[in-house]
Chains A and B, each alone.
Chain A
């Protein structure tokens, strides 16, 4: 049965055509991708050709040397220690910068601009770049890893936390201002309790990131599990590398789960 439309009902609107801008955009993206592939002579050929050569390697990978896990354990402890130290000091310093990088807590425009700019510069380099810099400065080892991650963490912690500060409930701030409280007291007691759960969650997230990047960090000379992988690779001990990679799946997964569980409880 159909429902008779009342005579006064206005005509039903037609479905609009797809937007021309959208179509033009998709074509542009496809064209840029094609150009980029041509620019780097992209081809999957080597993957197939070299695969047969690599069979020996794959063979070794399929037979991990479990007895090597003992060595991996020590390196993991080093990696986790590096991550803890770098996260702790990184987020602590990041918090101070976050207060200076939000209009809510920093009412000096020149300082605000300077801090924003400084943090953008900090974040412009990836963590590996900092490892390379600090390896050059203090030599290969966990100190280079700690310093690199520390600097890297300041940038992320400050950005995430500053955004949270921007969004706090302004009511308590108004009350603080109305009572004549100073800048520091206001930040500490009207803002900090509001952002604390988010801040702790960011701290855990940054710790997760630090564990995840442990391979690259170590490869570049920053100590820990990555350094062990690099050495074993260089010696073609692929059974050992395989055992480490498997331990990596387990450790990273466990730490992620634990951290995410804690973060869910926080916010």
Chain B
């Protein structure tokens, strides 16, 4: 369970990224966060795993306080939280396998990690993660040789190899074409259902938000301005969140 209580995030330059946000996200929920550019979606996601520090308020992940946590404690919290990025963030010059191993590094002692001596268990876990996203045949391919969709699946496998309780995804499909975006979103949904991993995804396209969100959270200027089910999030609600009327750019092309 993720609990935010009056969380405010102020960046060093004074910009308020989150403004007194309170949310409770129960285990296993699939949450989609929507909002215009600059609304604070990325800030919300990055605050949950401590990549952005909380300025005020309390943020607990499975009962562990993240606000003001030590570096040591933060690493423990993060090891239970997988993260997926818009630009995949793979190490392109190395194999898919080595990339997936990154997800397990928190549990591998430095002396083995430095020489790349993975145990049979660790390799097995990496293969299983790759199998879950249907890309195990690429295990020994260089990450740079994969398409965008394949790279994002490797990134999902990397997060899965962490054996996470929570999965955070910051616009995971924004750099993908519409059919690939659908597939990647379905992978995330399947993983959420099969492994009961609490999932929080930032999305730009409101049709994807409605299709996949058990719960949709709308943000504007660092505040939560809508919190309801995907079904409740009709066009009027989105116009309210966006503060403007909807345009064709707000839906995934060829899929409305």
Contact = CB atoms under 8 A, between A and B. Distances in A.
A184 B106 CA distance: 10
A189 B117 CA distance: 12
A189 B92 CA distance: 11
Closest 6 CB pairs of A and B: A180-B79, A171-B89, A180-B106, A181-B105, A180-B78, A185-B105
Interface stretch (A29-37, A190-198, A216-224, A256-264): A190-198
Interface in B161-187: 162, 168
Interface residues of B, number: 35
Given A172-B89, A176-B102, A193-B94, A185 B108 contact: yes
Interface in A185-213: 185-186, 188-190, 193-194, 196-197
Interface string A169-182: 00110111111111
Q: Which of A171, A178, A189 has the most chain B CB atoms inside 10 A of its CB?
A: A178
A193 B90 CA distance: 11
Interface residues of A, number: 21
B87 A176 contact: no
Interface string B95-124: 000100111011010100110100000000
B93 interface: yes
Contacts of B89: 171-172, 174-175
B91 A189 contact: yes
A4 to B, nearest CB: 45
Interface in B50-91: 51, 74-79, 81-83, 85, 87-91
B83 A175 contact: yes
Nearest to A183: B110
Contacts of B116: 188
Given A175-B83, A185-B105, A190-B102, 17 more contacts: A175-B89, A176-B102, A176-B105, A178-B78, A180-B75, A180-B76, A180-B105, A180-B106, A181-B102, A182-B106, A182-B110, A188-B113, A190-B91, A193-B91, A193-B93, A193-B94, A194-B91
Interface of A: 171-172, 174-182, 184-186, 188-190, 193-194, 196-197
Contacts of B93: 193-194, 196-197
Interface of A is mostly: helix
A10 to B, nearest CB: 37
A175 B49 contact: no
A132 B49 CA distance: 55
B51 A174 contact: yes
Contact of A184 (B49, B51, B85, B113): B113
A216 to B, nearest CB: 37
Nearest to A174: B89
Contacts of A194: 91, 93
A169 B40 CA distance: 24
B106 A179 contact: yes
